[in-house]
Structure 1
Amino acid sequence: MKIAKGMSTVLISSTSVFAAGAAQAAEPVSERGAAFPASAETDEIIVTAQKRAERLSDVPMSITAASGEQLDKRGVSNVADLAKIAPGLTFQPSDYGSPVFTIRGIGFKDISVAVAPAVSVYVDQVPLPYSSMTPGAALDLERVEILKGPQGTLFGQNSTGGAINFIAAKPTSSFEVGIEGSYGRFNQLDGQAFVSGPISSGINARLAVRTEQRGAWQRSATRDDGLGSRNFLAGRFLIDAEPTDTLRLEFNINGWRDKSDSQAAQFVRFAPAVANGYQDLVPALTAYAPAPRNARMADWDPGTNLQRDDRFFQGSVRGDLDISDLVTLTSITAYSDLRQNAPIDPDGVNVNDFLLTIRAKIRSFSQELRLSGKTLDGGIRWMVGGNFQDDSSSDNQTGHYVGTSSGIGPLRFVEFINSNRQKVRTYAGFGSVDVALTDRLGVQASVRYTTSTNNFSGCLYDTGDGLLAAAFSLIAAAPISEGSCVTIDPTTFTAVPVVNKSLREDNLSWRLGVTYKPGSNQLFYANVTKGYKAGSFPTVPAFVPDQFNPVEQESVLAYEVGIKQSLLDRKVQLSGSAFYYDYRGKQLIGYIDGAFGQVPALISIPKSDVLGVEIDGVFKPVDGITITANGIYLRTRVRGDFLANDPFANSVNLGGEEFPNSPKWQYSIDGEYMFPLTADSEAYVGASYAHRSDSVASFGGSPDFRLPAYGLLDLRAGITKGRWRAQIWGHNVTNKFYLQSVTHVIDTVARLTGMPATYGVTIGYKF
């Protein structure tokens, strides 16, 4: 039956930082705040990508790192904004608004909230295991590290694309206070502040808060109405304690609340889910005018409240015990709790073709214990440990619609609930070793074994009005009562009370690498890495139980070679890498053949691959001027023939197609000139331009789903004087129209745009 279809910088390169980071690097710090000896010849920050403190240019992998000050200057306030500074990283909202992060073509686009990502996000190595937990991660930062390529041996499965580790600014041993406020277009009013210092002997604390407020930036295409207000609040409280000379503790309580409006879509065209289906809205949708190329114009149902009510809380405790001068025991314990109530109107029109409210709850507990050390001469560094994670989730989607598919025969329905409940328990053991064979040659190896069990229950439910149950009773062997599950067993044609399924998986992630360092300013490396992303259950309108069948884990076998090089007394710093990924079992939302025709479900592509080259350069031709340029060439493709469905449920062969949201070319250039004004003040001007070539929002080859190429220009200028800083800024100053995603939901093709031009002023003061 056809009803199924309708319900369904300043950028820091990989080897260096900018002048703003050089001051910080003069006294580099570890992830725990302990001082490390500064190198007289380097102006680099220290990173912890391998869970130990190292110079960025000594880490044999592709990493983009940026300091908190640089992120602030560039207007990076969330994970999605990192696409401005990290080549190969892209952001795309899913069809129902959940964030999808992709690195080098590896990402997982699904419509669920409680779904394991392909790019994992951490704050101080504490996991945010689901992408919807990440909006507050960029609060009050020391730096961010973006690790590219599979990171499963150290950061666990679900990091086949890479890992993003935010490093929070730590409590200080002296009293400090900072405050910053911004005012910009659309009555944007942002403020953030921190207070840090000792609260007793050996105990330091830091409290940071941020609020983001903004008026409506979207306008209705058919009436005088606005949407798009921003109401976001985040906070973090840290306590660092040193009870003894050998024991260090870090307590972290953080959370956020989001009561912003969900973004409305732009109407592209009428595309009925069921040709010659129910005609309620067909005249209105046929006559509806496509949205203009104006980012502010969109449409949504009048009188509909699209304000979210999303909340997140996390608590963590980290302990480091020096067993000896050479061995440290580390424990990281964390608990995370996400509550989401998110109404969305994704159809782009002012009539109720489709409305959806996502009500989700996710609880996650994790415990990591590891032992790390080195030999007396430092020639061997090693680590061994284990990890446990226990997650429970409830992901319910309540749909309200009057589309061409909203009924069965003479009986109509207007509401349904897609229900997905999961309990996931994961155990892992890992280890790594780095061996310096000579002063120049080294080898590295790491491994992680992971086993997991995912118990699922779900159904397509009648909401209690009895309409969906009555309609499905027409095709069921027995009447279905109101409020019940309407998913039908195709062998007996009776409704099941609930669908229960389990998925048990294990895998072995590993990495082998070799490094050659002919001098302190040059590094060559080669790595071979195998990583996995866990299997997943979908949140879909399941007419039959098979729609809830999971996809099994996917894997990436990655080959990478790279170089990091400094020239001309570090005035020129270059890095580059070439990589090839053998990608197996790529997961995606699609359609399967069922008893009622084509029905939505998760599917996997057996074979695909990624080929790419990445380059970064930092140039300091004269004092005060810093130019950063970076770029990536990326070729993604499905290997061999693979029959699937496009967004309109038409059968297509995906063989040879590029991956969604994976542009072939991305590059950016940033320049900043800093110059003295007086003895105690200086000024700076800067500009950055980021470009990406065209890509696709979905597999299938439909021209409706092309994302055209675009480039964004940001400008900034500021003054620092003692403890004061003032900056004027503009983002997308040319008001470039660009798309983030395109969807087909029920009867319309609709698109989400990026933000139009914004501009404002920021003033900050540190006591």
Structure 2
Amino acid sequence: MKASFVRAVIGRIMTGGIMIGGALPGGMALAEGQEGGAGGIPEIIVTAQRREQSVQDVGLSVSVLSAADLAAHHVTSVNDLQNVTPGLEVTNAFGGGQPQFRIRGVGFNDYASNNTPTVGVYVDEVAYPLPIMTQGLVYDVDRVEVLRGPQGVLYGRNTTGGAINILTANPTDTASAGITGDYGSYGAAKVEAYVSGPVSDTVKVRLSAMTQQGGAWQTNRVTGQDLGNANRTAARAKIAWAATPDTDATLNLHYGRDLSDGSGGYLFNPVVQPGVGTLPADTDPSKTGWSLSPAFAKLIGADPTAKPFRNNTSGGADLTVTHRFEDVTLTSITAWEALNRKEFNDWDATAYRDADEYFNSRAQDVSQEVRLASSGPGRLQWVGGLYYAHETLREAFLSDFTDVYGFIANTRYAQTAESISGFGQADYAVTDRLKLILGLREEHEDRTLRTFSTSTIPDTGIGVSTDKVPTGFTQTTGKAGVEFKLDDAALLYANVSRGVKSGGFTAYNTLALSGLAPFRPEVLWAYEAGVKSDLADHTLRLNASAYYYDYHNQQVQSVIIDPTFGAIGKIVNAPRSEIYGAELEVQWAPAHTGLRVTQALGLSHGEFTEFNAVNTAASLATCYPCRAIYTDQAGGDLGFPRITYNGGASYDWALSGYTVKAEADYSYRSSERSLLGSRYNVAGYWLVNAAVTLAPERGPWTATVYGQNILDRRYDLLRNFFTNADIAIPGRPATWGVRLSYQY
């Protein structure tokens, strides 16, 4: 590294003579030309449509979080975004490492690893095609953009629910560095650091890293052993090279390691263990249970005394090359992402062997995107390109059912997926106020389940195996929209869009080949209209939207009836369903007051309009052979909160050469109806957080004291069952901490 750069970094740290750069304590970046004490709502630039635009000039429902927002709200994973983003929900299946995403009620419940999500996650424009690949640390980020609604044109992977774009911080033109330390309840600790700047006239480098440790708040109800300690570390190197005056290349190398404890559930109903007795329900949600039988421990290569654990490594490399012609920009993004996952969970939350689960997964994805985009002035702006991706997954999924069924289920398979698509979108300004948008994407995908087998240990003579099960699709998706500017401060928009989510396979422990039949792709037609406005000299922002979703072949976790084996868990397609709702977002920042207020309200409703689902109890009463009996679910609730609410307020003031910031944020999610029955409904809940930050008026450090869930609200993230146990995954109790940051 260039010696002058290193000396500059050391010198500036020693003198402490530079202000914290780039962001206000409240998390809103200053708009160009705006004075720090003037108040008002700054302009936010996004790239949601693959070019830089003000968020208020984009006819889309999009939320933007800055680096300061993420720090203030303790966002260290993509899952944490649900606490600060209207309409977004992320829950991990049974508390394990498989996240389930949902935006505006469009989601996909699946505890297997092999299927695509309804919400695409992208880091620096690179798609993470499997949900299990998204669970690394979020750190050293410039901003996060959350798009609501189908993304069927400009993004690498077609989705029906939306997209989460994480844009990491780029190398800086001048030497800079920073470090943030955080320590809180239950011994939770985080340290994040970066160093950035030029190393030659044409090369800039940014090195960043983060580690997260501790935080165990759950305990074994019998032994008192703690559970839930984090042990995550990640590092990134971004190298930017100005190869020519018109050509830039950025290489992104990143690596992560997760050796954390798993999460536990608690029993919200008593559980009957055959031949053992009844275990009472837990009155304290921090209590849980687990165990490893010697046979299962030997099979998965773990110590018999081990707690639920993760032993995951992830990494990748991507190269982005941009060349600017006179009025056109060429962009190429070449990427490779990989995950090695070893994870043990105890889903029955007891010491009995009813549902002890182990995953050993190896996933890789290689992708290439090439696009051309207009860059000159004119009424017509356009972007078009090609996208290719090849994905591989190998997984062993083992379940210890010894105490309930007398065997260990051993499922192994491989899966490949190959996707190629062409896309394009054009925006045409008919007048200075009226703009028309049209986008299309043609995508072909082949997805194949290979060498699938389920066997039992010891061998019971039951199980299945198959060499190859294919599926795929060729689909046209797109968007048509219109935008009309009432004036410089108000935009009206309306869009019709079509999104598709890939079909796939139910890769669970199964005893019948009928369980491996692929489910079809789901299609969502979305109709949305909205308004974006900045009023009162940019001190009041009002954004509102209303939408209607027409859902075809929605993918639903259900059961099928096999004549020999009875009910088999499987993902099926519900022919028709619908979702409709409205959202309102308000920001108020009166000039010269130091006050900031944000509010966001989402109302939505979803129901099946055509779906005959298996009535499990009635069907099993016909056995043997078993015959499927169906119940009409038309009018049945889709099972997501009808009301979501996020709000916050902060106030800055000067105090003898220092600035003090007091802030609070709060969120509400209404009750969630479960498709499994009313006993698994999740009650609605409020969460409230607060913080006070002190910083010198001109100095390089900040100090924050904070509390999360300060009302110590008890709440569940989800409720479910596995074999005999009714379990709930609880949210974290009240936590408190301090955060210190030094930057220049």
Inter-partner Cα distance in structure 1 for 2:120 and 2:28:
28
User: CA offset at residue 645 of structure 1?
Assistant: 5.1
Contact 1:426 1:451 in 2 (8 A): yes
Contact 2:41 2:588 in 1 (8 A): no
The alignment status of 1:629 with 2:604, answered yes or no, reads no
Q: How many pairs does the alignment contain?
A: 692
Partner SS for 1:153: coil
1:718 matched residue in structure 2: 693
Inter-CA distance 760–367: structure 2 relative to 1 (3 Å threshold):
same
2:424 matched residue in structure 1: 431
Partner SS for 1:536: coil
1:643 matched residue in structure 2: 613
Please give the per-residue CA displacement for 1:484-541, whole angstroms capped at 9, x wherever unaligned: xx31xxxxxxxx5x34111131101110000000211100000000000011112112
Inter-partner Cα distance in structure 2 for 1:556 and 1:331:
29
1:353 matched residue in structure 2: 354
Please give the per-residue CA displacement for 1:90-119, whole angstroms capped at 9, x wherever unaligned: 111124541011000111111211221110
User: CA offset at residue 640 of structure 1?
Assistant: 3.0
Inter-CA distance 42–723: structure 2 relative to 1 (3 Å threshold):
same
Match of 1:449 among 436, 442, 447: 442
Match of 1:671 among 649, 659, 667: 649
User: CA offset at residue 283 of structure 1?
Assistant: 4.6
2:307 matched residue in structure 1: 305
Inter-partner Cα distance in structure 2 for 1:648 and 1:183:
54
Inter-partner Cα distance in structure 2 for 1:643 and 1:570:
51
User: CA offset at residue 43 of structure 1?
Assistant: 1.7
The alignment status of 1:555 with 2:523, answered yes or no, reads yes
User: Partner letter of residue 25 of structure 1?
Assistant: A
Contact 2:172 2:198 in 1 (8 A): yes
Match of 1:682 among 659, 673, 695: 659
Contact 1:22 1:44 in 2 (8 A): no
Contact 2:40 2:589 in 1 (8 A): no
What pairs up with 1:585-624 in 2 under 5 angstroms? Answer: 585-595=553-563, 596-621=565-590, 623-624=593-594
User: CA offset at residue 134 of structure 1?
Assistant: 1.6
Inter-partner Cα distance in structure 1 for 2:741 and 2:322:
34
Please give the per-residue CA displacement for 1:334-354, whole angstroms capped at 9, x wherever unaligned: 001011100000102222222
Please give the per-residue CA displacement for 1:212-240, whole angstroms capped at 9, x wherever unaligned: 00142101223322211110111111011
User: CA offset at residue 647 of structure 1?
Assistant: 11
User: CA offset at residue 648 of structure 1?
Assistant: 12
The alignment status of 1:572 with 2:573, answered yes or no, reads no
Contact 2:497 2:525 in 1 (8 A): yes
Please give the per-residue CA displacement for 1:115-150, whole angstroms capped at 9, x wherever unaligned: 211100111111111221122352111111000000
Partner SS for 1:763: strand
Inter-partner Cα distance in structure 1 for 2:103 and 2:454:
36
User: Partner letter of residue 556 of structure 1?
Assistant: L
% identical equivalent positions: 28
Contact 1:295 1:755 in 2 (8 A): no
Inter-CA distance 309–41: structure 2 relative to 1 (3 Å threshold):
closer
User: CA offset at residue 368 of structure 1?
Assistant: 0.2
Contact 2:574 2:611 in 1 (8 A): no
Inter-partner Cα distance in structure 1 for 2:575 and 2:239:
48
User: Partner letter of residue 108 of structure 1?
Assistant: F
User: Partner letter of residue 656 of structure 2?
Assistant: T
Partner SS for 2:352: coil
User: CA offset at residue 22 of structure 1?
Assistant: 5.0
Contact 2:251 2:318 in 1 (8 A): yes
Inter-partner Cα distance in structure 1 for 2:737 and 2:138:
20
| Structure 1 residues not aligned, in runs of 5+ | 1-16, 29-39, 273-280, 407-412, 473-485, 488-495
User: Partner letter of residue 699 of structure 1?
Assistant: L
Inter-partner Cα distance in structure 1 for 2:422 and 2:721:
42
Please give the per-residue CA displacement for 1:451-503, whole angstroms capped at 9, x wherever unaligned: 0111212434336x5x23x343xxxxxxxxxxxxx31xxxxxxxx5x341111
Inter-partner Cα distance in structure 2 for 1:364 and 1:598:
34
Inter-partner Cα distance in structure 2 for 1:340 and 1:424:
19
User: CA offset at residue 636 of structure 1?
Assistant: 0.9
Inter-partner Cα distance in structure 2 for 1:648 and 1:565:
55
User: Partner letter of residue 176 of structure 2?
Assistant: E
Contact 1:392 1:422 in 2 (8 A): yes
1:657 matched residue in structure 2: 636
Partner SS for 1:365: strand
Please give the per-residue CA displacement for 1:257-297, whole angstroms capped at 9, x wherever unaligned: 1111111111133577xxxxxxxx3253x5211011x3312
2:181 matched residue in structure 1: 181
Moved more, 246-255 or 18-27: 18-27
Give the structure-1-normalised TM-score. Answer: 0.87
1:287 matched residue in structure 2: 278
Partner SS for 1:609: strand
Inter-partner Cα distance in structure 2 for 1:102 and 1:645:
26
Contact 1:390 1:424 in 2 (8 A): yes
User: CA offset at residue 745 of structure 1?
Assistant: 0.9
User: Partner letter of residue 32 of structure 2?
Assistant: A
Inter-partner Cα distance in structure 2 for 1:80 and 1:22:
22
Partner SS for 1:200: coil
What pairs up with 1:18-97 in 2 under 5 angstroms? Answer: 20=26, 23-26=29-32, 43-95=42-94, 96-97=96-97
1:706 matched residue in structure 2: 681
Contact 1:107 1:118 in 2 (8 A): yes
Root mean square deviation, CA, Å: 2.1
| Structure 2 residues not aligned, in runs of 5+ | 1-22, 293-304, 621-629
User: Partner letter of residue 297 of structure 1?
Assistant: K
Moved more, 346-355 or 651-660: 651-660
User: Partner letter of residue 641 of structure 2?
Assistant: P
Contact 1:333 1:368 in 2 (8 A): yes
User: CA offset at residue 652 of structure 1?
Assistant: 4.8
Inter-partner Cα distance in structure 1 for 2:115 and 2:733:
30
Partner SS for 1:546: helix
Please give the per-residue CA displacement for 1:16-54, whole angstroms capped at 9, x wherever unaligned: x988455443279xxxxxxxxxxx997211000000000
Contact 1:159 1:531 in 2 (8 A): yes
What pairs up with 1:143-222 in 2 under 5 angstroms? Answer: 143-222=143-222
Inter-partner Cα distance in structure 2 for 1:730 and 1:248:
43
User: CA offset at residue 641 of structure 1?
Assistant: 4.3
Inter-partner Cα distance in structure 2 for 1:137 and 1:233:
8
User: Partner letter of residue 602 of structure 2?
Assistant: I
User: Partner letter of residue 683 of structure 2?
Assistant: P
User: Partner letter of residue 607 of structure 1?
Assistant: R
Inter-CA distance 631–649: structure 2 relative to 1 (3 Å threshold):
farther
Inter-partner Cα distance in structure 2 for 1:253 and 1:723:
29
Inter-partner Cα distance in structure 2 for 1:714 and 1:689:
6
What pairs up with 1:501-512 in 2 under 5 angstroms? Answer: 501-512=469-480
Inter-CA distance 648–209: structure 2 relative to 1 (3 Å threshold):
farther
User: Partner letter of residue 63 of structure 2?
Assistant: T
Moved more, 131-140 or 146-155: 131-140
Inter-partner Cα distance in structure 1 for 2:330 and 2:603:
41
User: CA offset at residue 331 of structure 1?
Assistant: 0.3
Contact 2:472 2:502 in 1 (8 A): no
Inter-CA distance 256–87: structure 2 relative to 1 (3 Å threshold):
same
Contact 2:270 2:280 in 1 (8 A): no
Inter-CA distance 585–23: structure 2 relative to 1 (3 Å threshold):
closer
Contact 1:403 1:746 in 2 (8 A): no
Inter-CA distance 254–647: structure 2 relative to 1 (3 Å threshold):
farther
Inter-partner Cα distance in structure 2 for 1:653 and 1:431:
41
User: Partner letter of residue 322 of structure 1?
Assistant: R
